[in-house]
Amino acid sequence: MNLILIGPPGVGKGTQAELLEKRIGLKTLSSGVIFRQEIEAETDLGRLAKRYIDHGRLVPSGVTIEMMAKRIRSAEARKNGFILDGFPRAIDQAVALSEMEEDMDTVIDAVISLEVPDEILVSRLSGRVGCTKCGAIYHMTNKPPKRDWVCDNCNSPLFVRSDDQPDAIQQRLQIFHDTTMPVVSYYEGMGMLTRVDARQEPEKVYLDILAAAAARESKASQ
Ligand code: AMP
């Protein structure tokens, strides 16, 4: 099964991807996590991406599509299926992904739109900390790590993202509405979209995602 999780920053895409990977073995392909790993490793792509990410702007689609195409083609992603978290985020990326599906004879089974009002997102993003190494996400009030500033999964140090600062948060929400919402409409028009209320507890959101994916799969096989 291959899924796309789409939604504004702070909606819980990363948390849900983590649950789907742990419980049903889908490989998470998170464009944001991959960019942060490239930045940490000080690669050319990382240096380029950092200039955009620090200001809450989107990295140009050309390099983003190339980076994600490589991951989607990998044996690891094709073994049990994958979750796209944070990609596609603009119409040109969605069109490129549709072309990749044809070229690679892979299908996206379901697109899940996670939805939460902007006010809630701002408070979620404000206390967020993450792990650069494995991508795990914590929240200082809602989901603190067991030890201060240390990842429960891999013991690496935790950090506050440069783009979780107030100005960058507003910029990212604006970009979501202007540039990513058309992607939601694109998939809705193709009959692939299910909307999930992401104000609910993560467990309930997870169950809604599974139910939506199962319903899409059974519809496709009829
Ligand atoms: P995320 O962790 O998904 O919030 O992504 C962090 C940042 O990485 C975003 O604010 C963008 O600057 C960049 N980024 C992630 N995914 C994409 C994408 N599909 N297209 C362009 N930029 C992206």
How does the average pLDDT of the chain come out, rounded? 93
Rounded CA-CA distance 209/16 in Å is 9
Helix axes 61-73, 91-104, angle to 10 degrees: 30
pLDDT of 221 strictly over 80: no
Over pLDDT 90: what percentage of the chain?
77
Rounded CA-CA distance 130/68 in Å is 21
pLDDT of 165 strictly over 90: no
Q: What is the pLDDT of residue 119?
A: 87
Rounded CA-CA distance 15/11 in Å is 9
> What is the average pLDDT across 98-111?
91
Structure tokens belonging to residue 9: 């920053």
pLDDT of 47 strictly over 90: yes
Rounded CA-CA distance 15/9 in Å is 12
Structure tokens belonging to residue 213: 């994916």
55 band by pLDDT with thresholds 50, 70 and 90: confident
Is 13 within 8 Å of 28 (Cβ atoms)? no
> What is the average pLDDT across 66-79?
94
Q: Is 204 a catalytic residue?
A: no
* Distance from the alpha carbon of residue 220 to the mean position of ligand 1, in angstroms: 30
Q: Could you tell me whether strands 110-115 and 193-197 are parallel, antiparallel, or unpaired per DSSP bridges?
A: parallel
Phi, psi (5° rounding) for residue 138?
A: -130, 170
Which is more confident, 118 or 206? Answer: 206
> What is the average pLDDT across 166-180?
92
**For residue 87, which atom of ligand 1 is closest to its CA?**
19
Q: Is 89 a catalytic residue?
A: yes
Tell whether omega for the bond before 88 is within 30 degrees of 0, i.e. cis. Answer: yes
The protein residue whose alpha carbon is closest to atom 5 in ligand 1 is 32
Q: Is 172 a catalytic residue?
A: yes
- The CA-based diameter of the chain, rounded to the nearest angstrom, is 50
pLDDT of 222 strictly over 80: no
Which among 154, 124, 161, 155 has a CA at the least distance from the CA of 139?
124
Q: Is 195 a catalytic residue?
A: no
Task: Name all residues whose Cβ lies below 6 A of ligand 1.
Answer: 9, 31-32, 35, 52-53, 56-59, 64, 86-87, 89, 93, 163, 172
**For residue 172, which atom of ligand 1 is closest to its CA?**
10
Over pLDDT 70: what percentage of the chain?
100
Q: What is the pLDDT of residue 89?
A: 97
pTM over 0.85: yes
pLDDT of 193 strictly over 90: yes
Q: For a substitution probing ligand 1, which of 16, 35, 161 has the most ligand atoms within 8 Å of its CB? A: 35
Q: What is the pLDDT of residue 200?
A: 96
Check the CA dihedral 44-8-194-208 and report its sign: positive
Q: Domains in the chain, please, with CATH?
A: 3-116+166-221 (3.40.50.300)
Q: What is the pLDDT of residue 219?
A: 78
